[in-house]
A and B are shown apart, each in its own frame.
Chain A
Amino acid sequence: MTTAASRPPRTAGAVHPVPAWLWLPAGTAVVVLVLPLVVLLARTPWPDAITLLSSSTVRDALALSLWTATTATAVSALLGVPLAWWLGTGTSRGQGLVRLLVTIPLVLPPVVGGAALLFTYGRGAPVGSLVWNLAGATVPFTTAAVVIAQVFVAMPFLVVSLEGAFRARGILLEEAALTLGADPWTVFRRVTLPGLRPALLGGIALCWARAVGEFGATITFAGSIRSVTQTLPVAIDELLGHDLDAAMVASSLMIGLAVVVLVLLRGRWLGAR
């Protein structure tokens, strides 16, 4: 968070040390990344947007997406903050291995994650049969499965970003608080968490964005049942087959959500970045 401040300020009019021909690949990169989104937004039938958005498919999917992603983010924060704390400040052996294991979902194709979840929580599978015996419920193809898939895919983002913040901060303030007579829980609540607010909000925003956009693991593990497991990305996939206009409106909506999250991430209320 402080590295930016230690760099010399860049001013307009300063001599640019980059060779001119680099603008060509750099400009191409921007086009590759931005053009599809611009085209999508341009082709979206905006005059019909209100009607299409209020269609039950899109409306249900949006509502489901918003509340499952929020639930998944809450679960990720409850479990992920302590994990990030341990990874970032602990000194135990085996931390490197744990860090590697819990970040695998970051680079794993989500569909593989969904398959792994199915093999774990399915009816005949170890955890699945336990749940069946205890609660008489099945996990796959339920709203719970949607949340589990989102947690599996999104929590690593929160853990990785927070771990870096914990590591950068060190435990200097915590040590001071301890010698002043605070118990570990008070230290965490009064010193650690407030100091971590910017990083925590950033991690939560990233995690939520990833959860709301989750598709591969969801469709594999939870399927596409209207109002139950059909989140907005899953609905878009289905609409592409029979209602392109609705698919475009829903996609534009997701672009809007992504932009909102980015703005919040960079916003001043997150502190200087």
Chain B
Amino acid sequence: MHGEASAGAPLRARLTGSVPRSLRLDVDVEVGPGERLALVGPNGAGKTSVLRLLAGLDRAAPGSSVTSGRTVLVGDRVHVRAGDRRLPMTFAEPRLFPTMTALDNLVFGAARSGRSQAATTRLRALAALDALGLGHLVGRRAGELSSGQSAVLAVLRTVLTPAVGVLLDEPFSSLDTEVAADARSAVHGWLDQLPVPLVLATHSVLDVMALATHVAVLDDGVLVQHGTVDEVARRPTSRFAASFVGLDLFAGHSHGTEVLVDGTLPVPASTRGDRAVGTTRAPAGPWTVRLSSSTPADGPVWVAVAPRATTLHASRPADGAKNIWETTVATVEQLGAAVRITCAAPLPLRVDVAAATAIRLGARPGTTVWGQIDPSALEVYPA
């Protein structure tokens, strides 16, 4: 969907901070053509700031650089204006131009690149609207569209603009769940075919699953993990990333198949090399539990546990079973038809069980239970 100038260069960014937002950043990331990177992280982690710096809407702190192929967009003493970067952006609000028609909005970006570009884009826009069943909206003023239509058209407008990369900032966060699902499936095909890098900031794991190939986890301005969606989902290295994909994460220390798991909360959010977790020493005490794992490792490790991996028992299971520890119930809450039990020391795991199981356990805050986990259900990996 793009002009020839956009053909396949990676987008590379080293960002040290945002001047207007007085925010320090430590982000060094490269997104290849056709790759779709999801930026995730807690509120205020810097996702939007990163996108605005890439787009050229905010000025980057010294030492930053953004390049597309060999073209420098930002570097010391270089600041290519937003209008010249060819990095169209979609915002958390659709920001369609209310005084223009839907079609004029869609071809706005292409119209900057000459007449023939505008003409072909017009055809593509019409085809895309037809495919969505929105053909009747062509001449409608953007101010008269529904929020779902606006969100989809905002992404379409960005995708139809000649670009070296595409930036999406939580494009569906303002929509209801169902409308967001429709919008997501509407744009999925277009994003799939993008020949250029895409960076997407999001709070939604559904966005990541449907739209991204890679994930970058930001915490307090620092890029703490960057990998494929599968890598990050299987082996998160921060509490945020773990809870984003629904896992509990603990620091530990491994010796062969034996792992001492440190249940102390909170686990340090960041584990980039120099900022290693506090588990170089072997931990011991009331917040430590000795488990065996089926993946041998040595030294400091992360231990990720899925909420259905643990079994809870009202009494100590028969001798010979592995990975058993005594604990008490901390909290009990409803989760659809299931019940989520959070354990107290030594391992503050969240365990999802059927309501019937919770009743049989007599699970109330303070109830004594025994936890048991299969060695193969522990995801143990170097920290």
Contacts and interface: CB of A to CB of B under 8 A. Distances in A.
Interface in B278-332: none
Given A172-B95, A176-B91, A195-B99, A182 B167 contact: no
B151 interface: no
B89 A181 contact: no
Interface in B231-290: none
B109 A181 contact: yes
Interface residues of B, dominant DSSP: loop
Contact of A179 (B56, B93, B98, B100): B56
Given A172-B93, A195-B99, A180 B167 contact: no
Contacts, number: 67
Interface in B65-109: 81-89, 91, 93, 95, 97-100, 108-109
Interface string A191-228: 10011010000000000000000000000000000000
A178 B54 CA distance: 13
Interface residues on A, range: 10 to 19
A122 B24 CA distance: 57
Contacts of A48: none
A263 B46 CA distance: 49
Contacts of B98: 195
Nearest to A178: B82
Contact of A181 (B57, B93, B97, B112): B112
A184 B83 contact: yes
A183 B113 CA distance: 12
A173 B97 contact: yes
Given A180-B112, A181-B109, A182-B83, A175 B88 contact: no
Given A172-B93, A175-B57, A181 B99 contact: no
B160 to A, nearest CB: 9
B91 A172 contact: yes
B83 A181 contact: yes
A184 B97 CA distance: 16
Contact of A186 (B84, B86, B112): B112
Nearest to A175: B57
A49 interface: no
A190 B98 CA distance: 11
Contacts of A195: 97-99
Contacts of B57: 175, 178-179
Interface of A: 172-173, 175-184, 186-187, 190-191, 194-195, 197
